[in-house]
Amino acid sequence: MDEKTIKEKELSARLLEEIKSLTAGREHPLRLMEVCGTHTVSIFRAGLRQLLPTGVELVSGPGCPVCVTPDGYMDAAIAYAGMEDVIVATFGDMLKVPGSSSSLAEAAARGGDVRIVYSPMDALTIAKENPEKKVVFLAVGFETTAPTAAAAVLTAEQEDVGNFFLLPAQKLVPPAIRALLADEDARIDGFILPGHVAVVTGSDAFSFLPTEYRLPGVVAGFSPTELLRGIYRLVRQVAAGEARIENEYKSVVRPEGNPAAQKMMKQVYETCAAEWRGLGKIPDSGLCLREPYRRFDFSAVRPLDLPPAPPKKSGCRCGEVLQGKILPKECRLFGTACVPEHPAGPCMVSAEGVCAAWHKYGGGVFQYD
């Protein structure tokens, strides 16, 4: 074991002891919510839930963009995939996300042209190589990926690529946190804030938590030790009756964020209401293309007349999981009718989904990378 790993183990042991001391004697455990899919996976992979004292409970919020994508969006994507002159380009974890009655994987099996890409620029390349087709990139993500989709739109405009489009579904994290806290049943004592999102937004974007809700938040990194440091700082604030935003990811996160990425987003997008699975429609939580770039929005270029997505009867409780109201194991489908090979809902589809993480790492033990 190298010296760095030994030091991390020693630090982690001290942090756990401090957390235990600060939460000893509490009548109810502190409920701390992470709102980042990568944090969710990292927490499970490291086995942090098993290590933390009973005075701390970790719950997962709507931090997986695939998981919060509603049925109606998937129904539109599936409909476009069935059109002869359309190529749908998407990240791979969207393939099995269920719509009202089908999925993109099933649309591809029926002959639809659905292609996996690793970035919006890959979709733009496909558009250049297939000028006779309309190439539609499924723009799903949070502030982390929105700038890259915006860059693809600006490049398509500059290079006059007229067959490249987005099907926008980008969402903003701060309005979702506000929506969670507006629920009178929510009981959250602090937030482990998303490191990747904060790279773009800056830590100041979450200053509303202490000023409006008297809740602490800590921007955290992704290693086990970084997460424990974030949890310790949250617990320490609560124990002291304090509430502020702290940055435990200073190597890449600044208070003001990334001005260049923000400028690009502001140029291409404007905020709009967006539908979130489990949270409903949240004002100003989505990113829609501004009027000068509306021609790149395929839903505006070729609108669909689809019926509203009917209520699901599968029994999937993904929406409640995303709000931190239940744990995945409390859903009767979890691990039986709903597994990664045959998911009943999006929380089991994505690698960053909380149900997928519970299924894969629920019994994990602490690891140092």
Per-residue confidence in pLDDT tens, the chain, 369 aa: 677 777 888 888 999 999 999 999 888 999 999 999 999 999 998 889 889 999 999 999 999 998 999 999 999 999 999 999 999 999 998 998 888 889 999 999 999 999 999 999 999 999 999 999 999 999 999 999 999 999 999 999 999 999 999 999 999 999 999 999 998 888 899 999 999 999 999 999 999 999 999 999 999 999 999 999 999 999 999 999 999 999 999 999 999 999 999 999 999 999 999 999 888 999 999 999 999 999 999 999 999 998 877 766 678 888 888 888 888 889 999 988 899 888 888 889 888 888 998 888 874 443 434
| Residue 1: predicted pLDDT | 64
Rounded CA separation 215/182 (Å): 13
CATH of the domain spanning 13-64+173-247: 3.40.50.11750
Q: Give the residue among 120, 112, 163, 122 at the shortest CA–CA distance from 301.
A: 163
| Residue 312: predicted pLDDT | 64
CATH of the domain spanning 71-170+258-301: 3.40.50.11740
Residues 6+ apart with CB under 8 A from 41: 351, 352, 357, 361
Alpha helix stretches (DSSP H) within 259-329: 259-268, 298-301, 318-322
Domain with CATH 3.40.50.11740 in the chain: 71-170+258-301
Domain with CATH 3.40.50.11750 in the chain: 13-64+173-247
Q: Give the residue among 88, 66, 104 at the shortest CA–CA distance from 165.
A: 88
